[in-house]
Amino acid sequence: MRKTLYSLLVLALGFTACDKEEIKDVPELPVEATMTRTLDFTLLGTEKDTTYAHKEKIKATALFGNDAIIMGSEMNVFLVTIDAGPGVTTDGAGDFVQFVIDPAKLKADYVGKYGLGVQADLPVKHIHYSYITNKVSGAYSARLYGTNFGNTITGELNITQYDAARNTISGTYAIVGKLYSDPTDPSTASRIDDECDLAVAGTFTNVKIKKN
């Protein structure tokens, strides 16, 4: 009887050891993002185009939390942000795009096209855009635009892949809008010829979903 119990104990320990060996950490993959922005000044017939060359320096995040852009009045939302601003890049200025989504509208595997408007199968609550400038060290100046501010902006967040093992999302994004001020101009004055058409597009890869 003792021999039988001993054999069973050894066998059980052997299975436990095998189980422990099979559990391995999934290596993280590098987070990357791209962004191209165009400002078309229709009255002047000029454009301001920017493509951020260093995709690893563009910060992309996915977060369940509160929408700080509108001072927390939107609680418990899903925020996907692509930030090429001065806190990320080294040239002292850059663009910022954010999609605000109601978690109740998210698909179980996140994959889908999330758009703005009542016709969207997977609706976006708000879209935010900003051009942020680092005037002096540690101090930022920004022109904020958003659908909740009355700006005419539309767009789509297309999540094409969800990696369940790493809890990450990948996909593409695009926004377009009509602005009545030049977001790259740090002055507060607005002129009639500042009217411009905005277009921002890019990709994001291996963005980990976090909770605030």
Q: What does the pLDDT read at residue 19?
A: 45
Q: In angstroms, rounded to a whole number, what is the distance separating the alpha carbons of residues 31 and 159?
A: 15
Tokens of 149: 């501010």
Average pLDDT over residues 102-125: 89
Give the per-residue pLDDT at 135: 64
Provide the residue type at 148 as one letter: N
What pLDDT sits at residue 93?
85
Tokens representing 56? Answer: 């690893």
| The token pair that represents 99 in the structure block | 């999609």
| Token pair belonging to 187 | 């002055």
The whole-number pLDDT of residue 23 equals: 47
More confident position, 6 or 188: 188
Show the beta-strand stretches assigned E in the chain.
Answer: 32-33, 36-41, 46-51, 59-65, 77-83, 93-101, 112-116, 122-124, 126-136, 139-146, 152-163, 168-179, 196-211
**Percent of the chain whose predicted confidence (pLDDT) is above 70:** 78
In this predicted structure, what is the pLDDT of residue 205?
Answer: 97
Mean pLDDT (the chain, rounded): 83
Q: Which residue do the tokens 């069973």 mark?
A: 8
- pLDDT confidence of residue 69: 64
pLDDT (tens digit, 9 = 90+) per residue, 6-33?
A: 444 344 444 444 444 444 688 999 999 9
CA angle at residue 70 from 64 to 72, to 5 degrees? 50
User: Given pLDDT bands bounded at 50, 70 and 90, which one contains residue 71?
Assistant: very low
pTM over 0.95: no
146, pLDDT greater than 80: yes
Q: Determine the pLDDT at residue 142.
A: 79
Q: What is the mean pLDDT of residues 80-102?
A: 86
Is the pLDDT assigned to residue 34 strictly greater than 80?
Answer: yes
Unique residue bearing structure tokens 């595997």: 109
Q: Which of 65 and 169 is assigned the larger pLDDT? A: 169
Q: What's the rounded mean pLDDT across residues 192-201?
A: 91
